[in-house]
Structure 1
Amino acid sequence: MNYYRFFIANWKILLFAILFAFFSGFGQTFLLSLYIPHFLKEFSISHTLYSTIYAVATLLSGITIIFAGKIIDRVPLKSFAVAVIVGIAAANIVAGLTFNLIILFLAIFMLRFFGQGLLSHTAMTAMGKYFTKNRGKALSVAYLGFPIAEGLFPIIIVGAILAFGWRQSFFLSALSIVVILLPVTLYLLHKFKQEDIKEEFGNSARGNLPLTVDNERTWSQKEIVRDKSFYFFAPTAFLVGFILTALFFFQTFIAEFKGWTIEWMALNITAYAIASFSFSILAGPITDKYTAKKIFPFILFPMIIGLITLIVFKHPFATTLFWFFVGVTAGLNPTVSNALYAEEYGIQGLGAVRSLFTFVMVGSTALGPIMYSLMLNSGLTFNLIHVIIIVVTTFLFI
């Protein structure tokens, strides 16, 4: 079943997942970073203090997801989705009403928890639970919401801030969620049942995987943490989030260190977007054919090649190669990893499973900028930092 036929056959649930991935942008770093100058000016705080607030709020949201994320296993998808929508709308309202640092902390926590956390979690968990033979394709389709958001949201939000002010832009974001996401979600999930899913069951390497959950084991979070496979999977989830967030956070400083202009560095992020988009599409059918477990060990290799390129070369076109290889890992990771969790731990408790790995990922996005800052302050250069990361990554997977 090609992507077109697959989407037409399952367009409602797939569009739902794309929209949730797209609207998760309201809690992602690429969007919230646009508000940093306004927060610093409004509350007269330093960049260091704001970074600390952001990191602690992000870590707290990750811990909370461990408990909240598994609720999706026990309640109807529509009920869970509506609760998440109400939460992200409320988060934007709180952000717009922020008048002191305590409320700012609460706003960032809510945006990270409901946006980066639960909106993404809902989209990916639904695809993992409801699809079997075409799980890879479903996850690839859902992932498209992320690069679309990365391309559109900054333009929209910057325009809204310039036209109406930063507080009003948060209110407009909340309004768009209530007016667009809520009614569309209610329509798409109206009377939705797993029996509505249409898949093509042909020959593939997934033939030995269970197609039903009748006799499937339900893993508790405690059992998962005790399972040795968790400690093979978790480092990849951590490293991808850690490295990606730090690279974006410090992109202007990396450009200065390498002797590249900031404009050239930003322009070449297009290579990242193209690679991420393309390889997320390719990851679907490849995962369906060979299984995620066989592909997963290779996810970090392109990113390592990108870091080596960044270390060795100073030519401006090395920027393009660097971002491209990083984008390959960014595109492969969500589809392969989320399919892997379903393959390894089953789908009955997939919400609980993904909650743990979401916590690892969210925690890594909070620690990335902090650890880079500490290493830079200790006198290490970006090249040395990336050599350390490459060595640690290689050691973990030997």
Structure 2
Amino acid sequence: MNSYALYLRFLRENAPFLAVGALLSFLSSFGQTFLIAAFAGEIRTEYGLSNGDWGLIYMAATMVSAGVMVFAGGLTDRFRVRTLSVVVLGCLALSCIAMALNTHVIGLIIIIFCLRFFGQGMTSTISIVSISRWFIATRGRALAISTLGFVTAEAALPLSSVWLKSHLPWRMIWMGFAGFILLMIPLLWHLLKLERTPQATAKTDNAAGMDGAHWTRAQALRHPLFWTLAPVMALFPMFATTFWFHQVHFAEIKGWEHLSLVAVFPLGTFTFMGSTFLFGWAVDRFGVAKLLPLYLLPYSVAFIIHAYAPTIAWSALGVILMGLAGGGQATLPGSVWSTYYGTAHIGSIKSAAVALMVLGSAIGPGMSGWLIDAGVGFETQLLIYSATFVIGSIVMIPALRAATIRLPRAP
């Protein structure tokens, strides 16, 4: 049987579980920065906020979300996806309704926290953890397929939202988001009617990590590999979120129409889609250790291009490179923790890593907004971010080499 036939067989046999991962990753977009930032202009105007004020609110709410994720993420080790996802998505829908109805700044802070926690935090974590647990030998491939939901949302939602704002009140659009989420809950429930057994009731499906052990979160947090890799991988959401969050400001300083800038984002999304499958195949073929130090480098080049871009065409090239790196971010973090620490407690370990990433995505926009108000140009900031990606890539190499030696040998 050739590889194409094997791939089709893989899709056919695992379609419901792959669809769950893709659907959850799509629905996480309602708490992702690329969508919330599309409404930054309206939110700042409605509440009378400067770039720094809006960035500070976003940072504070997201930081609290990161702190809660450390504890809440472990719920994925205790409850079935079918049950937990319905509760989380219900809360996410209520958060969208609150965004549509709220008129107070204090309420805005709470709403941003809820969107970030239930959307970016819990929904995406449930997707990644469930796929990482359900698939072992084909984990990279499965993660790549599930990420298609996120890719589709990133391509469609910001552009359609900006277009819809010219025809509908922005608050009505958020009410529509809530309705869509609620409609997807019965579909998710149906797909999981034959849900695979979770870790809480099946101990034999666990894959071991370093030294043939099933690492707990406490053990992982005491191990140097975690504190080498997690902060570096948090650079991606930190600076990517900063770019998407300040997209309106970026268009303004370049003298471009916001809609024209958003129109090139799907180029990055299509690249993201292809890159995700490429990284998914490469993880299964070469292993995560060889790929992890490389995937941030396209982002470094992309930010240099954005900083000096004289036209949208140049920035489009930067967006394409961001999509190339995005495929690595979509597949590698989900694979690395399972590989080195095993899958028995992957939900708890992953939640700690996600908390750092969420924290990074909180610090980035707030810090950048403060720097903008202080007179540090956004283009100058992009060059600093570019250098940080290169440094982070170099730092990961010795830590990965030392940890890989301790992995159990394949029989």
Q: Which residue of 1 aligns with 2:148?
A: 144
Separation in 1, partners of 2:193, 2:182: 17
Overall identity of the aligned pairs, in %: 26
Question: TM-score normalized by structure 1?
Answer: 0.86
Q: Deviations over 1:311-365 (max 9, x none)?
A: 5664664323322222111122110121111101111111111111111111111
Match of 2:62 among 47, 58, 67: 58
Output the CA distance in 2 between the equivalents of 1:171 and 1:269.
24
Q: Which residue, out of 281, 287, 293, partners 2:283?
A: 287
Counterparts of 2:270 and 2:81, CA distance in 1: 32
Q: Aligned runs of 1:311-350 on 2, under 5 Å? A: 311=307, 314=310, 317-350=313-346
Equivalent position to 1:71, from 71, 75, 100: 75
1:192-240 Cα shifts (integer Å, max 9, x gaps): 2249xxxxxxxxxxxxxx9744896343333222211012211332111
Q: 1:252, CA displacement in angstroms?
A: 4.9
CA spacing shift, 1:271–1:393, aligned 2, 3 Å: same
**Alpha carbons 1:303, 1:325 under 8 Å: kept:** yes
Deviations 1:174-195 (A, max 9, x none): 222222x211111111132249
Q: What's the RMSD between the two structures over aligned residues? A: 2.8
AA at the equivalent of 1:148 = T
Q: Offset at 1:258?
A: 5.8
Amino acid at match of 2:88: V
C-alpha spacing 1:18/1:395, structure 2 compared with 1 (3 Å): closer
Q: 1:186 aligns with which of 179, 186, 189?
A: 189
Provide the residue aligned with 1:373 in structure 2.
Answer: 369
Whether the aligned pair in 1 keeps the contact of 2:206 and 2:344 (CA below 8 Å) is no
- Report the CA distance between 1:278 and its aligned residue: 1.0
Cα-to-partner distance string for 1:259-301 (whole Å, 9 max, x where unaligned): 7665654443333122211101111111111111221111111
Q: Distance in 2 between matches of 1:268 and 1:94?
A: 30
Once the 2 structures are TM-superposed, how far is the Cα of residue 105 of structure 1 from its aligned partner? Answer: 1.9
**1:9-48 alignment to 2 at 5 Å?**
9-48=13-52
Contact 1:241 1:364 in 2 (8 A): yes
Superposition deviation, residue 379 in structure 1: 4.3
**Cα distance, 1:247 vs structure 2:** 1.9
2:142 paired with 1:106: no
Tell me the equivalent position of 1:204.
Answer: none
Give the direction of change, closer, same or farther, for the CA distance of 1:233–1:170 in structure 2 (3 Å limit).
Answer: same
**Equivalent residues of 1:34, 1:158 under 8 A apart:** yes
1: distance between equivalents of 2:126 and 2:139? 15
The letter of the residue matching 2:99 is: A
Q: Secondary structure at the match of 2:293?
A: helix
Match of 2:221 in 1: 225
Cα distance in structure 1, aligned partners of 2:287 and 2:176: 42
Count of paired positions: 383
Structure 2: state its 5+ residue gaps.
199-203, 396-411
Q: Is the 8 A contact 1:62 1:360 kept in 2?
A: yes
Distance in 2 separating the partners of 1:32 and 1:251 = 11
Aligned-partner SS, 2:69: helix
Q: Name the counterpart of 2:173.
A: 169
Q: What is the rounded CA distance, in whole Å, between the counterparts of 2:48 and 2:206 in structure 1? A: 57
| Residues 86-105 of structure 1 aligned to structure 2 (within 5 Å) | 86-105=90-109
Q: Which amino acid aligns with 2:343?
A: I
List runs of 5+ in structure 1 lacking aligned partners. Answer: 196-209
Alpha-carbon deviation of 1:305? Answer: 2.2
- For 2:12, the equivalent position in structure 1 comes to 8
